[in-house]
Amino acid sequence: MTAGHRKPDGAIRGPALTFTGDPFRDGVEDTMVYESDAIVAFGGGVITHFGPADRVERELPADIEVKDYGRDALISAGFLDSHVHFPQTPMIAAAGEQLLHWLDKYTFPTERKYADKAFAASVAKVFLEECLRNGITTSCVYCTVFPQSVDALFEEAERLGLRLAAGKVLMNRNAPDDLLDTTQSGYDDSKALIDRWHGRGRLMYAITPRFAPTSTDDQLDAAGELWTEFPDCYLQTHVSESRSEIAWVRELFPERAGYLDVYDHSGLCRPRAIFGHGIHLTDDELHCMHRKGSSIAHCPTSNFFLGSGCFDVFRARDERRPVRVGLGTDLGAGTSFSVLVTLNEAYKAAQLNNHSLGAAHAYYLATRGTAQAMYIDDKVGSIAPGMEADLVVLDMKSTPIIDYRMGFVDDVHEALFVQMTLGDDRAVQATWVAGNLLYERAGR
Ligand code: GUN
Ligand code: ZN
């Protein structure tokens, strides 16, 4: 496969994994591509060639340097994270509370600090560095109620050339006074940020009402109106994460049929809406999300950490009314930046729902599946000519026990499963963004 007119300016070589479709819908056989020795070449930030090394080598100009990662590597599309809170980076691993108390005790006091742009910029740098150390090349990010926290993140993402979505949290009630906006100021600030950032390079804006309890009906309506003005933005929020949250929403919105209906009533269930968690959604609500083309961000480390529940990805993806599902780290309720660790927990969440999440389905979720949930699977999430050159290179023998265990694997599925069960940030050898090497693990 080649992407005609573009000239390659770099290339990498090694075993490679990608997906040409959705294994949940069409099965693994027809959608998973594994090349035991591949070359991925890129130019101008876009993949120009992908295929078996012996063939692609002949197609490349003689002066292209091919970086060979060897047989113990795995080249994949960069990982995507469909739900994460960058301001919570300094409070990851805060012990002892479930969702609503955790927000009061840890989250709100931390998010207050982002009135200071310099502090926001320092955290944005650490956050994006950590994403790259874990092979995450695209994220959909919650900032804080302060617009300057959004500027700080976008400025750093732009410097790195990342494809990234983010937005200012909208929150006009049920939080400390100094963290509240108003319906009007939230709308105005969000609109100004859209004007400044949405569609600039690879950056995208996400309209971000935190969750129903912290917004009045009026604010949710205003978010819907803003989205109608800028329909190619995202809308991100939380839904049906914990039982006590759901009970609170029922008290706050007694006239609505259920939690999702609160959002639907304000026109927030559409394509490019990404709902965090959705653990306790009813069948009717999943039907609604399917019909409207909205997506769920599955955040297993967070769900286990807060004791929120156990999301059933196979129920959400039920072929009779499949809902788009992306993977999310949900820091700082989530406990790891590592996508491999997140897949490990996703596997356990599936087990507790009596399903087995095989490696192929898991790696699909972390790449093309999340890109599909974000409606950018035509740009990122797979390796093919014309796709943006965001790539992660895994080291399949990153620790002594993984190295040892790999001596007993029979096929690529088992090898991938070992990585997602035992691997972490140490397994990420290199991360490429738009054809630029932005992270390389120090030698071991
Ligand atoms: N619901 C509302 N805000 C949050 C948040 O910051 N994290 C999580 N996990 N759930 C939320
Ligand atoms: Zn969240």
Q: Which atom of ligand 1 lies closest to the CA of 330?
A: 9
Mean pLDDT of 263-289: 98
In this structure, whether the domain defined by 79-373 belongs to CATH 3.20.20.140 is answered with yes
Q: What is the pLDDT of residues 91-127, one digit of tens each?
A: 999 998 999 999 999 999 999 999 999 999 999 999 9
Q: Please give the pLDDT value at position 1.
A: 52
Tell me how crowded residue 251 is: count the other CB atoms within 10 A of its CB: 8
Domain boundaries, the chain: 10-77+381-440, 79-373
Query: Mean pLDDT in the chain?
Result: 97
Q: What contacts 404, CB < 8 A, 6 or more positions away?
A: none
Spatial separation of the C-alpha atoms in residues 386 and 77, rounded to whole Å: 13
Q: What is the pLDDT of residues 46-61, one digit of tens each?
A: 999 999 999 999 999 9
Q: Please give the pLDDT value at position 45.
A: 98
Closest residue by Cα to residue 363 from 344, 348, 379, 380: 344
Among 81, 83, 85, 89, residue to substitute to test ligand 1 (most atoms within 8 Å of Cβ): 85
Atom 7 in ligand 1: which residue has the minimum CA distance?
Answer: 333
Mean pLDDT of 241-246: 98
Q: Please give the pLDDT value at position 444.
A: 57
CATH architecture of 10-77+381-440: Roll (2.30)
Distance (angstroms) between ligand 2 centre and the Cα of 36 equals 37
Predicted confidence (pLDDT) at residue 5 exceeds the cutoff of 80: no
Distance (angstroms) between ligand 2 centre and the Cα of 303 equals 10
Distances, alpha carbon 196 to alpha carbons 150, 182, 193, in Å: 11, 21, 5
Among 106, 214, 238, residue to substitute to test ligand 1 (most atoms within 8 Å of Cβ): 238
Distance (angstroms) between ligand 1 centre and the Cα of 394 equals 31
Among 104, 210, 252, residue to substitute to test ligand 1 (most atoms within 8 Å of Cβ): 210
Q: Please give the pLDDT value at position 443.
A: 76
Distances, alpha carbon 243 to alpha carbons 105, 167, 217, in Å: 19, 26, 21
Distance (angstroms) between ligand 2 centre and the Cα of 101 equals 14
Judged by DSSP in three states, 41 sits in strand
pTM: 0.97
Atom 11 in ligand 1: which residue has the minimum CA distance?
Answer: 238
Q: What is the pLDDT of residues 9-21, one digit of tens each?
A: 999 999 999 999 9
- Which residues are registered as beta bridge partners of 395? 73
Q: Residues with beta carbon inside 6 Å of ligand 1?
A: 85, 99, 103, 107, 210-211, 238, 241, 302, 330, 333
**Ligand in nearest proximity to the CA of 236:** 2
